[in-house]
Structure 1
Amino acid sequence: MSGSLCLIDTLEIARDAAHEARGYDPQAARARISEELKNVVDETELSDWHVDMTEAIMLGLDCVLTGLDTGVDGLVRVRQFAMPLLVDETKRKMVVIITPQGGLKNYQVNLVFEFMAAEVTRYVQSQQIRDMGLSLITVRDEKYTKEVHEEIRERKHRVIVTGPWMALEHKQFSRLLRSPAFTKDVAAIVVDEAHCVSEWINSFRRQYSRLSQLRDIVPLGVPFVAASPAIPPMILMDVRQRLGFSTRSTFLVNLGNDRANVTPLVVRMAGDARAGDLAALHFTVQEALAGGDLVKTIIFFNNCELALRGWRHLRELLPDALKERVDFLYTLRGDYTKRVVAQRFLDGEISILCATEAAMTGLDVASVRRVVQYMLPVSLFRWAQRYSHAGRDGKPAVAVFLAEESALKNARACVVARDTVDDTEGIDELNSLFSDESDDASSDDDSIRRQRKAARKQKQVEEGLLDWLETTECRRAVANRYFDNPVRSQDPIVPCCDVCLRRKADDPEAHLSSDEQAILEFHQRARTREPGPVVPPAELTKDNAPAPRQEERAKCLRDAILEWRWGCWEQHCGYCVWEPRALLSENAINKLVHSGKIETMEQLRAAMPDWGFFEQHGADLLTVITREDQEWQ
Structure 2
Amino acid sequence: MSEQHTIHEKVKQRSYLNLQNARKSANKGRYDSDGTRSRIVREAKRRMDGKEPFGWQLDVGEALHLKLDTVLIAGTGSGKTLPFAIPPILGGKVLVISPLLSLQQNQVERFTKEGFKAVAVNSETWSPGLAQRLKAGYDQIIITSPEMCFTHEPFREILSSGDFSKDIVAIIIDECHVVEAWGEKFRTYYKAVGDLRAFFPIGTPILATTATLTPSAQQNLAKTLDIDLDNAFYLNLGNDRPNITYSVKVVKSAEDVEALKEFFNGPYDSREKIEQTVIFVDDHIFAQVVCREIRNWLPPDLRDTVCFFHAGRTKGSKRRVLKKVQSGYCRIMIATDAAGMGMDIPGITRVLQLGVTNSLSTWLQRAGRAGRKEGSQAQAVLLVEESVFHFVTASKNTEGLVPKKTVEPALREWIETQTCRRDKADEYFGNPPRTKRKENYFVFKETFLTTRNQRANWCFCLSAEALMPDTVLSKLATKARLRNVDDIRAEIGDTWALMRKHGDEALAVLRELDEKRLEDKVATTTANRELAKQKRAAEKAERLRLEAEEREKQKAEAKRKQEEVEARRAVLQKEVDRRVQAQIDALRRVTIAHPIPRSPPLSGSSIHNQSMQVPMVQTNLPYTLGSANNYICKILYFSI
Structure 1 residues 325, 94: closer, same or farther in 2, change over 3 A? closer
Matched residue, 2:274: 294
Q: CA deviation at 1:258?
A: 1.4
Corresponding position: 1:188 with 2:188:
no
Write the letter of the residue equivalent to 1:51.
L
2:228 to 246, 249, 254: 246
Judge conservation of contact 1:192–1:226 (CA < 8 Å) in 2.
yes
2:365 to 385, 391, 395: 385
Q: For 1:142 and 1:164, locate their aligned partners in 2 and report how far apart those are by CA, in whole Å.
A: 15
Q: CA deviation at 1:198?
A: 1.6
Structure 1 residues 352, 86: closer, same or farther in 2, change over 3 A? closer
Q: CA deviation at 1:149?
A: 5.0
Q: For 2:65 and 2:407, locate their aligned partners in 1 and report how far apart those are by CA, in whole Å.
A: 43
Give CA deviations for 1:480-535 in whole Å, capped at 9, x if unaligned: 22222223356679xxxxxxxxxxxxxxxxxxxxxxxxxxxxxxxxxxxxxxxxxx
Matched residue, 2:356: 376
Write the letter of the residue equivalent to 1:482.
Y
Q: For 2:342 and 2:210, locate their aligned partners in 1 and report how far apart those are by CA, in whole Å.
A: 13
Matched residue, 2:44: 41
Give CA deviations for 1:19-73 in whole Å, capped at 9, x if unaligned: 5797426xx632122221122123863233233323322332211111155255x
After superposition, residues 96-175 of structure 1 pair within 5 angstroms as 96-101=95-100, 115-116=104-105, 118=107, 121-122=109-110, 125-130=111-116, 135-140=117-122, 149=131, 152-153=134-135, 155-175=137-157
Corresponding position: 1:450 with 2:412:
no
Structure 1 residues 22, 296: closer, same or farther in 2, change over 3 A? closer
Give ranges in structure 1 of 5+ residues lacking alignment.
103-112, 415-433, 440-448, 494-633
Matched residue, 1:348: 328
Aligned partner of residue 288 in structure 1, secondary structure: coil
Judge conservation of contact 1:71–1:391 (CA < 8 Å) in 2.
no
Judge conservation of contact 1:7–1:250 (CA < 8 Å) in 2.
no
Write the letter of the residue equivalent to 2:242.
A
Comparing 148-157 and 380-389, the one that deviates more: 148-157
Matched residue, 1:83: 86
Aligned partner of residue 267 in structure 2, secondary structure: helix
Structure 1 residues 118, 288: closer, same or farther in 2, change over 3 A? farther
Corresponding position: 1:278 with 2:257:
yes
Q: For 2:105 and 2:9, locate their aligned partners in 1 and report how far apart those are by CA, in whole Å.
A: 36
Q: For 1:71 and 1:475, locate their aligned partners in 2 and report how far apart those are by CA, in whole Å.
A: 20
Write the letter of the residue equivalent to 1:487.
P
Bigger proportion of residues as helix: 2
Q: For 1:147 and 1:376, locate their aligned partners in 2 and report how far apart those are by CA, in whole Å.
A: 44
Give ranges in structure 2 of 5+ residues lacking alignment.
440-640
Structure 1 residues 484, 203: closer, same or farther in 2, change over 3 A? same
- Deviant stretches of 4+, over 6 Å: 4-8, 289-292
Q: For 2:239 and 2:22, locate their aligned partners in 1 and report how far apart those are by CA, in whole Å.
A: 33
2:204 to 217, 222, 238: 222
Q: For 2:155 and 2:9, locate their aligned partners in 1 and report how far apart those are by CA, in whole Å.
A: 35
Q: CA deviation at 1:182?
A: 4.6
Q: For 2:145 and 2:360, locate their aligned partners in 1 and report how far apart those are by CA, in whole Å.
A: 27
After superposition, residues 491-510 of structure 1 pair within 5 angstroms as none
Structure 1 residues 343, 251: closer, same or farther in 2, change over 3 A? same
Judge conservation of contact 1:267–1:400 (CA < 8 Å) in 2.
yes
Q: For 1:273 and 1:48, locate their aligned partners in 2 and report how far apart those are by CA, in whole Å.
A: 46
Write the letter of the residue equivalent to 2:219.
M
Q: For 1:71 and 1:8, locate their aligned partners in 2 and report how far apart those are by CA, in whole Å.
A: 22
Matched residue, 1:558: none
Matched residue, 1:396: 377
Q: For 2:8 and 2:246, locate their aligned partners in 1 and report how far apart those are by CA, in whole Å.
A: 26
Corresponding position: 1:483 with 2:486:
no
Judge conservation of contact 1:345–1:351 (CA < 8 Å) in 2.
yes
Give CA deviations for 1:224-245 in whole Å, capped at 9, x if unaligned: 1111133222333322222221
Structure 1 residues 383, 295: closer, same or farther in 2, change over 3 A? same
Aligned partner of residue 96 in structure 1, secondary structure: strand
TM-score (norm 2): 0.59
Corresponding position: 1:322 with 2:299:
no
Q: For 1:219 and 1:56, locate their aligned partners in 2 and report how far apart those are by CA, in whole Å.
A: 17
Q: CA deviation at 1:349?
A: 2.8
Corresponding position: 1:366 with 2:346:
yes
Judge conservation of contact 2:104–2:144 (CA < 8 Å) in 1.
no
Judge conservation of contact 1:129–1:136 (CA < 8 Å) in 2.
no
Aligned partner of residue 345 in structure 2, secondary structure: coil
Q: For 2:267 and 2:235, locate their aligned partners in 1 and report how far apart those are by CA, in whole Å.
A: 44
Corresponding position: 1:56 with 2:63:
yes
Structure 1 residues 265, 173: closer, same or farther in 2, change over 3 A? same
Structure 1 residues 393, 353: closer, same or farther in 2, change over 3 A? same
Write the letter of the residue equivalent to 1:231.
L
Judge conservation of contact 1:71–1:393 (CA < 8 Å) in 2.
no
Q: For 2:192 and 2:204, locate their aligned partners in 1 and report how far apart those are by CA, in whole Å.
A: 18
Structure with max Cα Rg: 2
Corresponding position: 1:331 with 2:311:
yes
Q: CA deviation at 1:151?
A: 5.4
Structure 1 residues 40, 490: closer, same or farther in 2, change over 3 A? farther
Does 1 or 2 have the higher relative contact order (CA < 8 Å, sep 6+)? 1
Give CA deviations for 1:267-298 in whole Å, capped at 9, x if unaligned: 223xx314x53332122211236999321111
Q: CA deviation at 1:372?
A: 0.6
Q: For 1:67 and 1:406, locate their aligned partners in 2 and report how far apart those are by CA, in whole Å.
A: 33
Q: CA RMSD in A?
A: 3.6
Among the aligned pairs, what percent are the same residue?
28
Q: CA deviation at 1:409?
A: 3.7
Q: For 1:296 and 1:437, locate their aligned partners in 2 and report how far apart those are by CA, in whole Å.
A: 49
Matched residue, 2:552: none
Structure 1 residues 308, 159: closer, same or farther in 2, change over 3 A? closer
Q: For 2:286 and 2:124, locate their aligned partners in 1 and report how far apart those are by CA, in whole Å.
A: 34
Judge conservation of contact 2:95–2:142 (CA < 8 Å) in 1.
yes
Structure 1 residues 137, 357: closer, same or farther in 2, change over 3 A? closer
Structure 1 residues 203, 308: closer, same or farther in 2, change over 3 A? farther
Q: For 2:258 and 2:71, locate their aligned partners in 1 and report how far apart those are by CA, in whole Å.
A: 43
Q: CA deviation at 1:473?
A: 2.0
Comparing 381-390 and 48-57, the one that deviates more: 48-57
Structure 1 residues 331, 97: closer, same or farther in 2, change over 3 A? closer
Judge conservation of contact 2:72–2:208 (CA < 8 Å) in 1.
yes
Aligned partner of residue 273 in structure 1, secondary structure: coil
Q: For 1:388 and 1:155, locate their aligned partners in 2 and report how far apart those are by CA, in whole Å.
A: 35
Q: CA deviation at 1:476?
A: 1.7
Aligned length: 428
Judge conservation of contact 2:37–2:62 (CA < 8 Å) in 1.
no
After superposition, residues 260-271 of structure 1 pair within 5 angstroms as 260-269=242-251
Q: For 1:253 and 1:51, locate their aligned partners in 2 and report how far apart those are by CA, in whole Å.
A: 12
Q: For 1:17 and 1:339, locate their aligned partners in 2 and report how far apart those are by CA, in whole Å.
A: 42
Aligned partner of residue 9 in structure 1, secondary structure: helix
Write the letter of the residue equivalent to 1:129.
G
Give CA deviations for 1:248-274 in whole Å, capped at 9, x if unaligned: 3322111222112211122223xx314
Write the letter of the residue equivalent to 1:191.
I
Q: For 2:130 and 2:261, locate their aligned partners in 1 and report how far apart those are by CA, in whole Å.
A: 51
Structure 1 residues 68, 150: closer, same or farther in 2, change over 3 A? farther
Structure 1 residues 389, 359: closer, same or farther in 2, change over 3 A? closer
